[in-house]
Amino acid sequence: MPEERSDKLIREKIEGLDTLPAGFRLQSNEDWLAIEQKLRPASRKGFGWWYAAAAVLLIVASTFLWNNTTLQPPVLQRVTVKQSKVPAKQVVPATNSEKTAAGGTSLKIVLKNTGGPAATNELPVIDTPSHNMAAIEESVTTAPALNNTPSIITVTSQAPIKKRLKIIHVNELGNEPEIIYTRGPLKKNQLAEDNNDDLQPLQGPRSWWQTKPKTVTTVTLSDNN
């Protein structure tokens, strides 16, 4: 049949067409990118490993930060007080304290006997933290008095080393110092509120606690009312 021959001819020509005819447009690269994006979730393997690695990293970082930020408790020193002579039974709070060269305080504890005259005895000093003074007093043990003479226990405490922060003047911060205006000397028969015209800048910067002087506006009433 003629139709079959013409159909065959058309089919052969159409199937043999490999190039894009004129007037037709194909954005091959863009289309491939769109296909690749849709294929990526299916083709990606081991995607969960990224999440596991990120979680491990987060845990390690948080542990490291936590260790650096926790404060270490102060080291307490155990205090033992030794005395060469037998002190009295009663412990009297120190009336005077001396500051040591290291910045601590030297506390003199006078032990008085109930009946006898007081006497001082120098005892070897043992360093203790200042907050443990109450424990020191409690731990002082007294032996029976031999000659009823009180003894002085000198306890030196070593205060914690204080860090002195560097005092920085506001001018050192780098900002331009503000000019502070002040009033000039008052003229005769002039109220302080009227003296707004003689504002003069201060010589030098203004500190942070100094506020700007307030300008006062005055209303003068005439005598003709």
Partner 1 sequence: MELSQLLKECRKHSVTAQKYLYDRYAVPFFLVCRRYMRTDEQAEEMMMNGFLKIFNGLLQFEYKNEAAATGWMKKIMVNECLQELRKKNSFLTIAEEEAKEIPVEEEIISSLTAEEIFCVITRLPVGYRTVFNLYVIEGMNHREIAEAMGITEGTSKSQLSKARTLLQQLLIQTNENYAGRKIR
* Contact yes or no for 83/93 (Cβ under 8 A): no
Tell me the closest approach of the beta carbon of residue 53 to partner 1, in angstroms: 22
- For every residue of the chain, DSSP letters joined together read -HHHHHHHHHHHHHHT--SPPTT----HHHHHHHHHHHHHHHH--SHHHHHHHHHHHHHHHHHHHHHHHSPPPPPP-------SS---SEEEPPS-EEE-TTS-EEEEEEEE-SSSPP--------EE-GGGHHHHHHH---PPPSS----EEEEEE-PPPPPPPPP--GGGGSSPPPPPEE--PPPTT--GGGTTTT-EE-SS---TTPPPPPP----PPPTT-
Q: Give the shortest CB-7-to-partner 1 separation in angstroms.
A: 5
Please, what is the minimum distance in Å from the beta carbon of residue 33 to partner 1?
10
Q: Which is nearer to partner 1, 8 or 169 (CB)?
A: 8
Least Å from the CB of residue 49 to partner 1:
17
Nearer to partner 1, 23 or 73 (CB): 23
48 binds partner 1 (CB under 8 A): no
Closer residue to partner 1, CB minimum distance, 36 or 178? 36
Cα distance between residue 88 and residue 69, in whole Å = 49
**Minimum CB distance to partner 1, residue 43 (Å):** 4
Least Å distance, CB 48 to partner 1, is 17
Mask of contacts with partner 1, 3-22, x by CB under 8 A?
Answer: x-xxx-xxx-xxxxxxxxxx
13 or 162, CB closer to partner 1? Answer: 13
Mask: binding to partner 1, 24-43, rule CB under 8 A, as x and -?
Answer: xxxxx--xx-xxx-xx--xx
19 vs 70, which CB is nearer to partner 1? 19
Strand partners, 89: none
Question: How far is 25 from 34, CA to CA, in rounded Å?
Answer: 17
Pick the closer one to partner 1 by CB: 6 or 139.
Answer: 6
Q: How many residues bind partner 1 (CB under 8 A)?
A: 34
The binding site for partner 1 (CB under 8 A) comprises: 2-3, 5-7, 9-11, 13-28, 31-32, 34-36, 38-39, 42-43, 45
